[in-house]
């Protein structure tokens, strides 16, 4: 995850080779309205991808030019809110799970087929766990914010309760105390 300060932007990626598929997933975890601007530029300065005020997004792109691609998050529209953004950037194809799998053109054995099925299932589990961890982080931040607001409200109510109690005690005490200067004037 990446902390993003108010009115901040920009981040550069390492050089990418030409004709490589890349996948980018980003999600705002905490801050403001949970939205952020995002754009990607190629080494020539062409904007490949641009989205504004997105909470979650993913896109796949095939690079055309070798060089440094700029991957930018922008929090310019938010003057007060500090945001945390999770992003996952995967470059290139996944290597085969079996060493000879890329070279073979024959059918897979039952064991190899089972390995591929298990591998695909585990990738799905990893994606689900990442999703649940992000949701948990988002919900934890929301709960901590709510907890601090409830604490401040409770402190305010406690202070108000003491002020009102003290005022009532003074008021009731004034009803039952004798006023000595008025009492002396009547007896004289």
- How do residues 50-76 score in pLDDT, each as one tens digit? 888 888 787 888 777 877 777 777 777
> pLDDT-based confidence at 17, cuts 50/70/90?
low
CB 37 within 8 Å of CB 77: yes
Record the pTM: 0.56
Q: Which residue has the higher pLDDT, 19 or 156?
A: 156
> pLDDT-based confidence at 164, cuts 50/70/90?
very high
- CA–CA distances in Å: residue 51 to residues 38, 73, 76, 115, 137: 5, 10, 13, 38, 23
> pLDDT-based confidence at 153, cuts 50/70/90?
very high
Instruction: Give me the pLDDT at residue 11, please.
Output: 55
């Amino acid at each position: 995850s990446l902390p993003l300060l108010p009115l901040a932007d920009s981040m550069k990626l390492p050089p990418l080779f030409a004709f490589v598929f890349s996948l980018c997933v980003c999600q705002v975890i905490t801050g403001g309205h949970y939205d952020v601007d995002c754009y990607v530029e190629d080494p020539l300065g062409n904007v490949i991808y641009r989205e504004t005020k997105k909470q979650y997004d993913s896109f796949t792109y095939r690079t055309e030019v070798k060089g440094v691609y700029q991957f930018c998050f922008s929090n310019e529209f938010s003057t007060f809110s500090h945001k945390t953004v999770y992003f996952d950037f995967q470059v290139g194809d996944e290597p085969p799970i079996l060493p000879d799998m890329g070279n073979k053109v024959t059918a897979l054995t039952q064991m190899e087929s089972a390995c591929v099925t298990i591998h695909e299932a585990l990738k799905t589990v990893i994606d689900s766990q990442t999703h649940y961890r992000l949701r948990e982080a988002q919900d934890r931040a929301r709960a901590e914010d709510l907890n601090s607001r409830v604490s401040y409200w409770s402190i305010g109510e406690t202070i108000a309760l003491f002020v009102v109690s003290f005022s009532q005690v003074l008021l009731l005490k004034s009803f039952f105390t004798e006023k000595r200067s008025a009492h002396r004037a009547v007896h004289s």
